[in-house]
């Protein structure tokens, strides 16, 4: 075992809106050296830090748009989102739930604040992560995994320290609830003040931590406040996260695909020609139909 050191701690960049319903700080790809290759297979991470949306009768969100070549993973910490896509996937994700949409060969989808949440208003806090697909799987059929919180496997840490929700991958022998196309670990650690959790991932896996709530100390050394992202070096296997106050952290680690990445808006493929084909297919209605 060798400790995996911190490469950098990134403060949240100024927020911007995606549609009118998601006020996000972008961490991947960003000016913090965390581009698509450095974080492969994680090619985008937008974080809607806790933000109050006032009541409205018209749900805020993002209207119909396409995707091809990757997966979108939405993790709800506060608020509710309604999702619909052209392959028939859809549902409502509430606090603690996860939505894992495999766009693959192509889907249209839309995401809006759930109707009752919109009418009542409230705090909204979510992560959207894009996970790249291996070249051999980019044109596979779309699919949808709606993971209600009570269906996500939870590891009880010793000494009543808290829990680790294993969304994907594995934590100390407990398997994640989502299926993935390549080795990806994704989990929420919910730690009580003064308690800690140890993590182990192969040295070549690109690994990061996003502090959702509270404050943490990494490897007994660096303090990291709320809404900051920790990029860990590929120089070791294990690291420790300690909650200096009650904390929630998102931990992600994945094996790099080490394949060419050519991105154009909502399409992420392996070559320019595949991007041209994706645009043609979208313009010719091959992504299906979805009402606005």
Contact 214, 257 (CB under 8 A): no
pLDDT band at 130 (very low <50, low <70, confident <90, very high): very high
Residues 287 and 292: their CA atoms lie apart, in Å, by 14
Domain assignment present for 288: no
Which band of pLDDT confidence, cut at 50, 70 and 90, is reported for residue 32?
confident
Closest CA to 231 of 35, 6, 4, 13: 6
74-92 residue pLDDT tens? 999 999 999 999 999 889 9
| Predicted confidence (pLDDT) at residue 31 exceeds the cutoff of 90 | no
| Domain assignment present for 32 | yes
pLDDT at 90: 87
For residue 276, tell me if it sits in a domain.
no
Would you state the torsion angle of the CA atoms of residues 208, 226, 31, 22, taken in this order, to the nearest 10 degrees? 100
pLDDT at 292 over 90: no
Dihedral Cα 278, 283, 288, 292, nearest 10 deg: 120
Q: How many helices (H) and strands (E) does the chain have?
A: 3, 26
CATH classification of the domain holding 250 = 2.60.120.10
Q: Is the pLDDT of residue 57 over 90?
A: yes
74 part of a folded domain: yes
Instruction: For the chain, give the mean pLDDT.
Output: 97
Taking the model in full, what pTM does it have? 0.97
What percent of the chain shows pLDDT beyond 70? 100
Q: Assess if residue 262 is contained within a domain.
A: no
The pLDDT value recorded for residue 187 is 98
- Domain membership flag for residue 57: yes
CB 130 within 8 A of CB 266: no
Reply yes or no on whether the pLDDT at 1 is more than 90: no
Question: What's the average model confidence in pLDDT over 108-124?
Answer: 97
Residue 114 lies in a domain: yes
For residue 108, is pLDDT > 80?
yes
Q: What residues make up the domain containing 69?
A: 6-254
Which residues are CB-contacts of 120 (< 8 A; sequence separation ≥ 6)? Answer: 55
- When divided into structural domains, the chain yields a total of 1
Q: How confident is the model at residue 33 (pLDDT cuts 50, 70, 90)?
A: confident
And the tokens for 138? 């980019």
Residues 42, 263: Cα–Cα separation, whole Å: 13
Q: Is residue 260 in a domain?
A: no
Q: Using one digit for the tens of pLDDT, what is the confidence trace for 234-253?
A: 999 999 999 999 999 999 99
């Amino acid at each position: 075992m060798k400790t995996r050191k911190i490469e950098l701690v990134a403060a949240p960049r100024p927020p911007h809106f995606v549609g009118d319903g998601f006020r996000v700080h972008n961490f991947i790809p960003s000016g913090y050296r965390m581009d698509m290759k450095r974080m492969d297979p994680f090619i985008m991470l937008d974080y809607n830090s806790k933000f109050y949306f006032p009541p409205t009768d018209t749900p805020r969100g993002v209207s119909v748009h396409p995707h091809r070549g990757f997966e979108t993973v939405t993790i709800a910490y506060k608020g509710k989102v309604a999702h619909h896509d052209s392959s028939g996937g859809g549902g409502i994700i509430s606090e603690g739930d996860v939505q894992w949409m495999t766009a693959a060969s192509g889907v249209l989808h839309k995401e809006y604040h759930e109707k009752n949440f919109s009418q009542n208003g409230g705090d909204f806090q979510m992560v959207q992560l894009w996970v790249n697909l291996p070249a051999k799987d980019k044109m596979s059929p779309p699919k949808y995994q709606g993971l209600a919180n009570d269906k996500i496997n939870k590891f009880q840490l010793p000494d009543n320290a808290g829990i680790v929700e294993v969304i994907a991958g594995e934590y100390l022998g407990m398997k994640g609830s989502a299926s993935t196309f390549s080795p990806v670990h994704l989990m929420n650690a919910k730690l009580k003040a003064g308690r800690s959790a140890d993590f182990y991932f192969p040295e070549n896996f690109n690994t990061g931590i996003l502090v959702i709530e509270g404050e943490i100390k990494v490897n007994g050394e660096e303090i990291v406040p709320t809404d900051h992202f920790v990029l860990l070096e590929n120089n070791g296997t294990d690291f420790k996260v300690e909650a200096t106050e009650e904390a929630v952290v998102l931990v992600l680690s994945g094996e790099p695909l080490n394949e060419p990445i050519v991105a154009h808006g909502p399409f992420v493929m392996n070559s320019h020609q595949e991007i041209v084909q994706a645009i043609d297919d979208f313009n010719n209605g091959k992504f299906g139909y979805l009402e606005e």
